[in-house]
Copies of this chain bind each other. A is one copy, B any other.
């Protein structure tokens, strides 16, 4: 089995519970590292550089982008956001798996640049339950919930572009399925050409 780590792209609509699944995943697996995005926006109170984001200047962002050191990037509300390639490459070469939580447009950009990555889409059990979850947060007016639900539908229609789907009806089970996908993907023939050669030459 290959001892190179994987790049795992994790997407899913707001309310699908990606955050709690990721917490469970990091607790279950010793080989998974969570990718941290870079942004040009200023840190909010309580945010730490390298934890929520790498907070970098617009100049540095542009330099990294032009040097091919961003796996993807996007502009949002006048600020730039991107995925630094270096930590992912380093983890992968050490046999560690990089987990990238990202929305579907960004996920498509990363998949195009790294076809060897594994795309996993986290689904809610149903739109009804998704709506409940969004309402239970209790902080959003009806209009916002309605808009989020529409956005969720649009995102779920992109699930077909991912390699795997995992239904988050139970957090630990969903996280366990993702661990299983990662282990199984490492047995793919396409990742083990060298292993086959090694067997033939020993």
Residues in chain A within 8 A of chain B (CB atoms): 1, 121, 123-128, 153, 156-157, 159-167, 177, 180-181, 183-185, 187-189, 192-193, 195-196, 198-202
Q: Is B160 in contact with A193, judged by CB distance below 8 angstroms?
A: yes
Q: Is A163 in contact with B184, judged by CB distance below 8 angstroms?
A: no
Count the copies. Answer: 2
Q: Is A127 in contact with B199, judged by CB distance below 8 angstroms?
A: yes
Nearest chain B CB to A189's CB is how many angstroms away?
5
- The residues of B that contact A121 with a CB separation of less than 8 Å are 189
Known A159-B189, A160-B193, A187-B181: A127·B202 in contact at CB below 8 Å? yes
- The residues of B that contact A160 with a CB separation of less than 8 Å are 189, 193, 196
